[in-house]
A and B are shown apart, each in its own frame.
Chain A
C-alpha cells in the first residue's frame, strides 16, 4: 500500500485564535502603577517624652470630627493650609537661614530646622480629610525642597529622591553614593518634622 502523505495543518486560523487571546488580555490588563504619599512612621516608644519646643515653633493643625480645620487656634479652609505651612516653615525668625525667603515674623518659627508641624486628628475624622491635610503639608515641604534642589542641582528633589530610593539604582555603580550627600543635604535644609499626636478616642 502506498504511504499517504501527512496532510498539512491549515495555519490560517492561527491568527484568529491569537487575536482572540490578544483581545482578552487587552481588555483585562490594567497597567496602572500604584501611587501614594510616602511617609516614615516614628519608631514605637511606650512613653514618648514630650520634646522641649518653643510654642512659636509649632504649627498646630487640628482636625475635628466634622472634618473642620483649626490651625493655631484659627479656623482655616483646607485650600489655605499649604500657603500657611510654607510661610511658617521658612519664616526664619532668627535670621540665620540664608536660603529662606520668609518674612521673619518674631511670633512664628525660628528656622526650618526648629519648625514642627503637629497634626492632631479626632478618632472620627475621615481618612479622606486626613489624606487631604497630609497632602497639603507634604506639598509645603516639597515645594521648599524642590526650590532649593532645583537651584543647586537642576533637578527637583522629588525626582532625585525617587532614583535614590529605587532598588533598581543599586545596579548602577556609584549612583547612590553620588546622590546620598545631595539628598541628605536638602533633607537637612528642610527636615520634615511632621509629628502626629494620638487622636482622642471617642468611638
Chain B
C-alpha cells in the first residue's frame, strides 16, 4: 500500500467560480460610477436639432443647463402649448434666468467660474424669438460662454 495515491488522470478539473463575484462587483462598481442619472425631470419636449460642427462639452461641473420647448403632453393642460423655459426642474420665465445663473455660479468655487458654460438644450421647433430672449438675458449677466447642445447628424440632409 503506497501512502501516495496516484493522481487521477483524465477528466477536466472544474473551473473555480469563487472569484466570479469579485469580477462582477468590479464591473458593477464601474457602471455605478460611470452612470449619470438624469437629474432633472423634463416637463417639456426636447428633441435637439442636428449639427456636425460640434465640440464636446467639458466636465459636468462646468456646465449649467437651460432647457426650452413646448410643454409635453401631460403638462399641456396646466402649462399651455406655447414654448417655455425650464431651469433645473421647474418651468420658468425669461426673467428667472438671471437668478438661476447667479445661483449656479455661487454653487461652484471661484476657480471654476470662468469655465462655466451654459448649455442650451432647446427643442428644434422653438421659435427664435424665445431663443433670442434667453441669449439677451445671458448677455446681461455676463454669461457669455454658451453651447448650443445638439444631436449628432448632418443638418443639411
Where the two chains meet, the residues of A that have a C-beta atom closer than 8 Å to any C-beta of B are 11, 14-15, 18-19, 21-22, 25-26, 28-31, 33-44, 78-79, 121-128, 130-132, 134-136, 138-139, 142, 158, 161-162, 165-168, 198-199, 201, 203
Q: Does B25 belong to the interface (CB within 8 Å)?
A: yes
Pick the residue among B112, B115, B124 that contacts A131 (CB under 8 A): B124
CA distance A193 to B156 in the complex (A): 23
Q: What are 18 A-to-B residue pairs whose CB atoms are below 8 Å?
A: A25-B28, A33-B57, A36-B120, A37-B148, A38-B117, A39-B146, A39-B147, A43-B142, A43-B144, A122-B128, A127-B127, A162-B55, A166-B58, A167-B58, A167-B112, A199-B129, A199-B132, A203-B129
CA distance A158 to B56 in the complex (A): 11
Q: Given contacts A41-B139, A127-B127, A130-B128, is CB(A22)–CB(B52) below 8 Å?
A: no
Q: Does B59 belong to the interface (CB within 8 Å)?
A: yes
Q: Given contacts A18-B28, A30-B36, is CB(A131)–CB(B62) below 8 Å?
A: no
Q: Does B131 belong to the interface (CB within 8 Å)?
A: yes
User: A77 — nearest CB in chain B belongs to which residue?
Assistant: B156
Task: Indicate if the CB atoms of B126 and A127 lie closer than 8 Å.
Answer: yes
Residue of A11, A18, A135, A203 most packed against chain B (CB within 10 A): A135
The contact size tier of chain B is 35 or more
Overall SS of chain B's interface: mixed
Q: Does B53 belong to the interface (CB within 8 Å)?
A: yes
Q: In the complex, which residues of chain A have a beta carbon less than 8 angstroms from the beta carbon of B50?
A: 128, 131-132
Distance in angstroms from A120 CB to nearest chain B CB is: 10
Task: Indicate if the CB atoms of A135 and B51 lie closer than 8 Å.
Answer: yes
CA distance A158 to B53 in the complex (A): 10
Q: Mark B31-49, 1 if CB is under 8 A from A, else 0.
A: 1101111000000000001
Q: Given contacts A15-B21, A26-B31, A167-B59, is CB(A135)–CB(B53) below 8 Å?
A: yes
Task: Indicate if the CB atoms of B21 and A123 lie closer than 8 Å.
Answer: no
Distance in angstroms from B58 CB to nearest chain A CB is: 6
Distance in angstroms from B64 CB to nearest chain A CB is: 12
Interface residues of B in 126-151 (CB under 8 A from A): 126-129, 131-132, 135-136, 138-140, 142-150
Task: Indicate if the CB atoms of A132 and B51 lie closer than 8 Å.
Answer: yes
